[in-house]
Structure 1
Amino acid sequence: MAEWDGVAERGQYKEAYQAQLDEVADAAYRGDWPALVAVVEKSPGLANTRRTGGRSGWAPLHQAAWHGAPPEVVRQLLRAGAWRTLRAADGERPVDVAVRLERHELVGLLEPAPLRPLADRSLRAMEEYLHALVRIRTADFGVKLALNLPQISVLTELPEGKVWFPVPGMYGGFSIALEDAETSPRLSVSSHCRVAGYSGQTHHITADGCALVESGW
């Protein structure tokens, strides 16, 4: 299952892993494509790395669009699992950066091709309910650190339509799945704290609201 890295504060990861994240962010920022591709091909989960504690929210695909990277570099990032739909802090996707800077040779590669198309209204509404749920559940477990909350758009391009969002300090996190995208789209969200017995809850989120459907597991 794909993993959403929601850590927005430094000091939450072990030193060796944080160094690896910084290596990816630094290589993408410099446009050092051989170094970047070597890391993400070895560890595909890093293809969507954003600088921990950074303000822009740019991932490697954003940097590739900004630099005008060779198309083959973009293809390699996509093969490693880079998300076309990932939005930066200002809402830009990689394709938006490419269009803005007239990187015409990259626009077609970066244009999102969702496997589970979702209407914009549904996407925005469900994301708001999801973020409210995450804030409430993490507060219940005393989590106070800043988080980059999950973007539903990435679920539309994932083969399984699922993502795991681990939350430091919660000793658990959120499993988020997009279901019935073409007919009656909803999110199925399971969350738990593994050190708190029977803390598990499952919520269903639609464009019209959020409902608790199971608890105590």
Structure 2
Amino acid sequence: MAEWDGVGERGVYDDEHQAERDRLSDAAHRGDWAAVLAAVERSAEKSADLVNTRRVAGRSGWAPLHQAAWHNAPAEVVERLLTAGAWRTLRSADDERPVDVATRLGHAALLPLLEPAPLHRVPEADLRAMQHFLHALIRVRTEDFGVTTALVLPQASVLTELPDAALWFRVPGMYGGFGIQLEEVRAGRRLVVRSHCRIVGHSGRTHHITPDGCTLTESGW
């Protein structure tokens, strides 16, 4: 299952991992693609995938694919990032996807590569509505467990790119997190969200989220 990296403040990661993330973000900012690709490949070997990493506590929210769009990187670089699992639908702090950055700057050659190709089609309005309820649920649940770490909350659109349409959001200080699954049902699509704290017995809850709201369907597991 893919993992959403939602740490929004420095000092949460250990020094080595923070430095690794900083080096990757710096290399992408410079357009040093050899360093970026090497870092991405190393992280995949360690099962600590950083291809969609954003600078911790950064203002832009840009991942390497956004930087590739900005720099008009060679197509081979973009293709290797995509092969490594870069998300075309990931939005920046300004709500831009990599394809939007390339379009804005006139980097037309990259547009066919960067155009999102969802495996699971959901109307944009439905995704945004479900994301609204998902974020509200996460805020309530993390507050219940006393989480004080600044978080960058998951983007529902990313689920449309993933073969299993599933994300794990590990929350620092919660000793657990949120498993988020996009499912097809007769009425359309919904999110199934399972959350728990492993040091609190029977804390597990399952919620179903549709564009119309969020419903608790199971608790105490």
TM over 0.5: yes
* Contact map agreement 1:116 1:182 (CA 8 A) in 2: no
What value does the CA root-mean-square deviation take over the aligned residues? Answer: 1.1
2:91 maps to which residue? Answer: 87
CA 182–19 in structure 1, closer or farther in 2 if over 3 Å, else same: farther
- Identity across aligned pairs (percent)? 65
The one-letter code of the counterpart of 1:22 is D
Q: Unaligned 5+ residue runs, structure 2? A: none
The one-letter code of the counterpart of 1:205 is I
1:114 maps to which residue? Answer: 118
2:21 maps to which residue? Answer: 21
Q: Unaligned 5+ residue runs, structure 1? A: none
CA 181–101 in structure 1, closer or farther in 2 if over 3 Å, else same: farther
1:76 maps to which residue? Answer: 80
Q: How does 1:8-87 map to 2 (within 5 A)?
A: 8-44=8-44, 45-87=49-91
CA distance in 1, matches of 2:82, 2:185: 23
1:149 maps to which residue? Answer: 153
CA distance in 1, matches of 2:9, 2:19: 14
CA distance in 2, matches of 1:48, 1:42: 14
CA deviations on 1:152-178 (whole Å, 9 max, x unpaired) are 000000011000000000010000000
CA deviations on 1:127-166 (whole Å, 9 max, x unpaired) are 0000000000000000122110000000000011000000
The one-letter code of the counterpart of 1:62 is H
- Which deviates more, 123-132 or 43-52? 43-52
Q: TM-score, normalised by structure 2?
A: 0.96
CA distance in 1, matches of 2:50, 2:186: 30
Q: Per-residue deviation at 1:182?
A: 8.6
2:162 maps to which residue? Answer: 158
* Pick aligned residue for 1:175 from 167, 170, 179: 179
